[in-house]
Amino acid sequence: MGEMSGGGMPSDIRRNRLSSYAVLPWLALALAGCSSGSVGTPAGPANGSSFFATSSAKSPQAVAGAQPDVNCPVVEVRQGASTLTISPSGDTSTMSLKYQGSFVRAARECAVAGDNMVMKIGVEGRIIVGPGGGPGQIDVPLRIAVVQETASNTTPIVTKLIRVPVTVGAGQGNVPFSHVEEGLSFPLPNPTTALDDYMAYVGFDPLAAQTQDQQKERPKPKPKKKPAQASNG
C-alpha cells in the first residue's frame, strides 16, 4: 500500500464506485453477526456525522479568496488494502491463519483554518480470530492518506501510518477496533474547486509497519574510535 497511490479516474465515476472484498468463508459467517456499516461506500455528510459523537471539529470557516462552501473530501477504503491477514511467516494455509481484519465503516469531518484544511477521519473495523489464533495483543497497521486524483495523475497530499493496539481476550472470536485521527492538515489548493479531485483513503499497511519495525531493530553503528595521537619525544 505504501503511498496509497492509484490510477486516476473521473470524479463522477470514482465517487460512486464500490470497493470489492474477498473474505474467507469462516470470516463471512463471523461477520454476519456483527453490526453493518458503510464499508466501500463514500462516508456521510462532512459535518454532523453520528460517528463523532463527541466531535470537537468546527464548521468550515471563511478563507480570504476562497469559496464560502468548501468541499470535504470523500473517504473510502482503499481497494487492495481492505483486508488484513496475520499468519506465521511463510505459512499461507487457511488453518494457520491467526487473525483477519476488515473495515466496518469510515467517516470524516472538515474544517478550514487559514489557508489549510483540517480533516478528522474515523474508522471502525473488526479483528476475527482465525483457526490458528487465540488470545493476545496485536497492532493494527492503519494507513490514512489524502490524494489528488485526476484523469491523468494521482498525487499524494498527506499520508500517515498509525498503529492501533487490539487485545484479543480468551474465548473471543472477534474484537472491534476504532481510531479517530485528529488534525490531518494540508494546504488548500488554489483554486479551491480542485478539492473536487481530492480523496481520503483508509486501509491496512502491514508492509510499512514491518519496515518500521525492522528500522527500530537495526543496531546503531558503533562510534569510530579516534586515532591515537603520536607523542612528541
Tens digits of per-residue pLDDT, 174-184?
Answer: 999 999 998 89
Residue bearing cell 491467526: 98
Distance of CA 95 to the CA centre of its chain: 28
Mean pLDDT of all residues in 166-189: 93
Tens digit of each residue's pLDDT (9 = 90 or more) over 91-136: 878 889 999 999 999 999 888 888 899 999 999 999 999 999 999 9
The pLDDT value given to residue 181 = 93
Confidence of residue 16 (pLDDT cuts 50, 70, 90): very low
How far is 16 from 23, CA to CA, in rounded Å? 22
Q: What percent of the chain has pLDDT over 70?
A: 66
Confidence of residue 84 (pLDDT cuts 50, 70, 90): very high
The pLDDT value given to residue 192 = 80
The pLDDT value given to residue 89 = 80
The pLDDT value given to residue 231 = 59
DSSP the chain: -TT-------HHHHTT--------HHHHHHHHTSPP--TTS--S-SSS-TT-TT--PPPPPP-TTS-SSPPPPEEEEPTT-SEEEE-STT---GGG--EEEEEEEEEEEEEEETTEEEEEEEEEEEEEE-TT--SEEEEEEEEEEEEEE-SS-EEEEEEEEEEEEEEEPTT-SEEEEEEEEEEEEEEPPSSGGGGGGEEEEEEE-HHHHHHHHHHHHSPPPPPPPPPPPPP--
Q: Are 74 and 46 in contact (CB under 8 A)?
A: no
- What is each CA distance from 232 to 121, 193, 229, in whole angstroms? 68, 75, 9
Mean pLDDT of all residues in 74-80: 92
The pLDDT value given to residue 232 = 60
Confidence of residue 70 (pLDDT cuts 50, 70, 90): low
The pLDDT value given to residue 1 = 45
Confidence of residue 186 (pLDDT cuts 50, 70, 90): very high
Phi, psi of 74 (to 5 degrees): -70, 145
Tens digit of each residue's pLDDT (9 = 90 or more) over 194-227: 899 999 999 999 999 989 888 887 777 777 776 6
Which residue did the predictor score with more confidence, 85 or 42?
85
Of residues 170, 173, 161, the one with CA closest to residue 211: 161
Burial class (CB in 10 A: 0-12, 13-18, 19+), 144: buried
